[in-house]
Amino acid sequence: MYGRKGCQLVKEIASGEKEQLTPFNSDLFDQVIAECSQHYVELQALIRNMQEKGLDVQTSKNEDHFGALIHHLSLVRNKRCLTSYMYNRAEILRNLIWKVGPVLPQEILEKLSHFEKEYFKKHSASLKSYMSRIDLDLAVDMVPPKDPYIQVRVLDDIGEGIVLSDEKSVNFARHSMHLLKRTDAEQFIARGLMEELTG
Amino acid sequence: MANYFDIDDILAEEELVSVVFQKAVNGVGIDPSSETDSVEPGSKVELPFWLAHELHLRQIATVKLPPSFNQKTRLELGADAACVDLRSRCPYFYEFGCKIAPLVGDRDMGSFLLSAFKNRYQEVLAKAHTAAFAAASKFLNLLTKEETNLYEAAQSSMAAFKKWRIGGPRFQRAAVLGRKRKPTA
Amino acid sequence: MAGQSDPHPSLFSADEVEFVAEDEMIEIVPNMRMEPLNLLCGDYGPFFPQMVTKVPIWLAIALKKRGKCTIRPPPWMSIESLTQILESERESQESFQVLPFHYVEISRLLFDHARDDIPDVYMVRSLIEDIRDVRFHKVETSLESFEDARSSAVRIKNLSAMEVNIVRPFVGRALQAFYKHGSPDLIPNPERMSNSNANRWQQAPDQGQRVCYELMHGVILKSALYEKDKGFDNDTRHCSTQARSCYIRMLARKIVPVFFGSLF
């Protein structure tokens, strides 16, 4: 009560490693929401108390009023903690599009709540429509380019018959090396499926 | 201006301050010494800043200056600022100081924080670019959150520059995916 | 405030600063004959064997990689000039010598791609590294003197792009802290404070952000036209459009949060 749990939730984000996503703590999240309901119930009770005494709730400042005020402030505080938790996670989520691409790997999906998955989907969709409206793919060239083509090695079985932007189909067997269009390779590297070879 | 969603701002407001209640309050279990769910006028209670602040503004309770900003700390900081362990006193020393100053009417707080920061800032600057991480870790334990962020800002931009100078692959696996996962050969 | 969480610690990565440096001009000696290149960023050439001409560094490197030219290192990249700069840097603790704004990036690009065109490359390289170290040490010393200045300001002339970029996140935060604690209205009047609380949800985007948005939005509109230039089979020409559109993407990405911010 009185904002302790809400703060724990926020601390979880603060203590996590930078740019790393922690699993959505629905347990603690629900507990904070339950606390909010509890505060609301107690606030109502205090106000009823005042009404029973025949006091004007708007203007009288007695001990019940101050009690209700503390419950109100705790509610507002919890709200701030909850929204901040969501907001800061949403910010990491929005960045994921740039870092990993619109298809999230399992290890990240596991950490998201149902609503976050929805949010991510919708955000990618609106970004996509924005990009098609300005006729420019913003998701490539995350690092300023040097050459149109780069040498890569496949780290994981990606599968056969992947169609690249030049409409050629390639077989990316593990450990095979390819000279790819930089813009094609970029997403595979970001997802840890390929590595760039230099020198 | 405070940022509603800012994590550091929220945590800074969680710092405890002791308050003295001026009014009686019903139906709240915030006074551990009280047996009922109420607070008597004159009770001394430790409350998080966000609550104490609002109660103070409404004259329900008065806030006392936290020990992290008392005369002793000020003397210590005046003598050898860089060696004082501020983190254990208050992890958000500067931010919290700014928040508490108007409540306790401390007009010297700004200049006190400024001189503390100026003196410690030099040390942060010197350590950030030169010292190896292991050598700095003892020093890092003394820093407040604000100072740590400053240190990390300097460190990471220096590290990024060194990485660029050495060269190597320009495209990399997204950091958010974690470091594990060696492909099983 | 000093040390509030900041999702964008550094405005530009070192790679991005290098990319900008690639637009600096440099002299090359072609060994082939080629029609002028009419590119988005300008017209270069015509190219004749053994005739010195000026092109942007990225183009010079692209030609060099294909064995079409040698690069002439800029005059400041000679042992004599660098030795003299190093001496002067060491002599004066306060001032910085005048070097090209992108000297760190340009020298690294040339060491990577045109080392056979630089006389005494090892010596030149170690001189530049020494100069950079001496200068960076001086930057740190100057930053320490924030403390003496009553105005919380420090004036450093002739800093280069990379040097600025390295200290930018640190200096930005430190300055914020100095201004915040040094400001006389640390104790605001209560009325204003409660107002600011109420307005937390609806802070108007500041002027700077809007200007930046408008500027960059203009850039994006143009870029759609640029993209249509693509598809020349000329390798070099392709390089150019590629490079430009990347730059535009870079800028465009930076405004996306602003753009979407207005929707939420």
Cα–Cα distance measured from residue C68 to residue C57, given in angstroms and rounded to the nearest whole number: 14
C32 pLDDT above the threshold of 60: yes
pLDDT of residue A151: 87
List the single residue in C16, C223, C242 with the smallest CB-CB distance to A148. C242
Cis ω for the linkage preceding B32 (within 30 of 0): no
pTM: 0.79
- In a mutational test of the B interface, the residue from A70, A98, A186, A194 whose CB has the highest number of chain B CBs within 10 Å is A70
SS3 B171: coil
One domain, residues B28 and B51 = yes
One domain, residues B25 and B84 = no
Rg (CA), chain B: 22
Provide CB contacts within 8 A for C146, sequence distance 6+: B118, B121, C152, C153, C154, C174, C178
- Is B179 contained in some domain? no
pLDDT of residue C51: 95
C178 interfaces chain B, CB cutoff of 8 Å:
yes
Regarding predicted confidence, which is higher, C168 or A128? A128
pLDDT of residue C196: 40
One domain, residues B60 and B36 = yes
C242 pLDDT above the threshold of 70: no
Domain tally, chain B:
2
What share of chain B has pLDDT > 70, as a percent? 90
Specify which of B64-78, C58-72, C221-235 reaches the highest per-range mean pLDDT.
C58-72
pLDDT of residue B78: 83
**Cβ under 8 Å to C: A residues 116-175:** 123, 126-127, 130, 134-138, 140-141, 143-145, 147-148
One domain, residues B84 and B57 = no
Enter the ipTM.
Answer: 0.85
- In a mutational test of the C interface, the residue from B58, B140, B161, B163 whose CB has the highest number of chain C CBs within 10 Å is B161
Domains of chain C, by residue range, sit at: 14-251
Domain span at residue B75? 69-165
- Is B59 contained in some domain? yes
* Chain A residues close to C264, C-beta within 8 Å: none
What share of chain B has pLDDT > 90, as a percent? 19
B162 interfaces chain C, CB cutoff of 8 Å:
no
Asked if C117 and C78 touch (Cβ cutoff 8 Å), the reply is: no
One domain, residues B54 and B77 = no
pLDDT of residue C260: 44
One domain, residues B14 and B52 = yes
- pLDDT tens digits for C177-235? 877 777 665 544 444 444 343 333 333 333 333 333 333 333 332 222 233 233 222 34
pLDDT of residue B134: 60
One domain, residues B74 and B60 = no
Burial level of A63, CB count in 10 A (0-12/13-18/19+)?
buried
Q: What is the mean pLDDT of residues B142-149?
A: 89
Domain CATH for B10: 3.40.5.50
What number does CATH give the domain C14-251?
Answer: 1.20.58.1020
CA pseudo-torsion sign C163, C169, C175, C178: negative
Q: What is the mean pLDDT of residues B58-77?
A: 88
List the single residue in C16, C224, C263 with the smallest CB-CB distance to A135. C224
- Is B16 contained in some domain? yes
Residue in chain C lying closest to A146 (CA): C243
One domain, residues B111 and B41 = no
pLDDT of residue C188: 47
Domain CATH for B79: 1.20.58.2050
**CB A138 to CB C15 under 8 A?**
no
* Chain C residues close to A127, C-beta within 8 Å: 256, 260
One domain, residues B50 and B128 = no
Domain's final residue, options B38, B64, B90: B64
Cα–Cα distance measured from residue B84 to residue B82, given in angstroms and rounded to the nearest whole number: 6
Q: Across all residues in chain B, what is the average pLDDT?
A: 83
* Chain C residues close to A138, C-beta within 8 Å: 249, 252-253, 256
Residue type, B80: D
- Give the total residue count for chain B: 185
One domain, residues B40 and B127 = no
Q: DSSP secondary structure string, chain A?
A: -TTHHHHHHHHHHHHSPTTPPPPP-HHHHHHHHHHHHHHHHHHHHHHHHHHHTT--TTT--SHHHHHHHHHHHHHHHHHHHHHHHHHHHHHHHHHHHHHT-SS--HHHHTTS-HHHHHHHHHHHHHHHHHHHHHT--TTS-SS--S-SEEEEEE-S--EEEEE-TTS-EEEE-TT-EEEEEHHHHHHHHHTTSEEE---
